[in-house]
Amino acid sequence: MAKKKEVSEILEAAREDNRTVLTEYESKNILSKWGVSVAKTILAKDELEAVDAARDLKYPVVMKISSPDVIDKEEVEGVRVGVSSEIEVRQAFEDLKLNTKSFNRNAEIHGVVVQEYVPEAKEVVIGIIQDPSFGPTVTFGLGGVWIEVLEDMSYRLAPVSEKDAEEMIKEISGYPILSGVRGEPSVDMEGIVNIIKKISELPVEFREISEINLNPVFAFERGKGAKVVDAQITLKK
């Protein structure tokens, strides 16, 4: 019950700001409170906080602009990967803010999120969309270049069971990439299943949630889990 209250407070705060799109930090905060595995992410409001966050997370780190007015962080050059020292953190903090203001001088900036560096893994995309007839629907597919090349997705109505989630993974054409081909190890299916199941509960528990986009989710080798690296939650208008 406490977690549900905490999630509701984050959603209500966005509503009070007349926003329907949550920031990455807000979205990850909700996911984390709901038991979803996410990459460790700290919101820094100034350079000193950013430096402290990077020390806590250990170098190298990833830094991204946090603004409710920025939907696509890449578009505004709002991301820095592999930041490896205090000097680089301070420079990146200023650069990300300047880039955002150059793109939209009226953009509201909450700060910069500092995220742990997550080692490369197989990428998948998990989400919630609104079907006009059936309501909240869970989506799953391969991420990275595969999502554009294959357009290979599976769907289920929310919420889903563990069995439903397992079937979603297995029925995409790209499943062999996840299960291991040419001697490659299988990814941690249990980790993916847990994320699918958990996010499928959110639009049922919180009717104001319209869409969820987890892209990418890194799926590691069997036994090492899966982590949401970037996330965006959208509310109903």
Residue 150 is predicted with a pLDDT of 64
Confirm or reject CATH 3.40.50.300 for domain 40-117, answering yes or no: no
> Of 121-135, 146-160, 178-192, 215-229, which range is least confident?
146-160
Per-residue pLDDT reduced to its tens digit, 127-155: 999 999 999 999 999 987 666 666 789 99
Round to whole Å and give the CA distance between 37 and 7: 16
Nearest to 114 by CA among 219, 28, 14: 28
Residue 148 is predicted with a pLDDT of 63
Per-residue pLDDT reduced to its tens digit, 94-108: 999 999 999 999 999
Mean pLDDT computed over 153-170? 97
SS3 content of the chain, % helix, strand, coil (to 5): 40, 30, 35
Q: Does this model's pTM top 0.85?
A: yes
Nearest to 124 by CA among 215, 225, 221, 220: 215
Residue 2 is predicted with a pLDDT of 66
Place 183 in a pLDDT band, splitting at 50, 70 and 90: confident
The strands making up 111-116's β-sheet, listed across from edge to edge, are: 41-44, 111-116, 61-66, 79-83
Residue 61 is predicted with a pLDDT of 98
Residue 147 is predicted with a pLDDT of 64
Place 197 in a pLDDT band, splitting at 50, 70 and 90: very high
Strand partners, 63: 80, 114
* The CA-based dihedral angle spanning residues 105, 15, 38, 217, taken in that order and rounded to the nearest 10 degrees: -70
Residue 41 is predicted with a pLDDT of 98
Question: Domain map of the chain by residue range?
Answer: 40-117, 122-235
Residue 151 is predicted with a pLDDT of 74
Q: How many CB atoms lie within 10 A of CB 53?
A: 22
Per-residue pLDDT reduced to its tens digit, 37-76: 999 999 999 999 999 999 999 999 999 999 999 989 999 9
Mean pLDDT computed over 164-188? 92
Question: At the topology level of CATH, where does 122-235 sit?
Answer: D-amino Acid Aminotransferase; Chain A, domain 1 (3.30.470)
Residue 152 is predicted with a pLDDT of 87
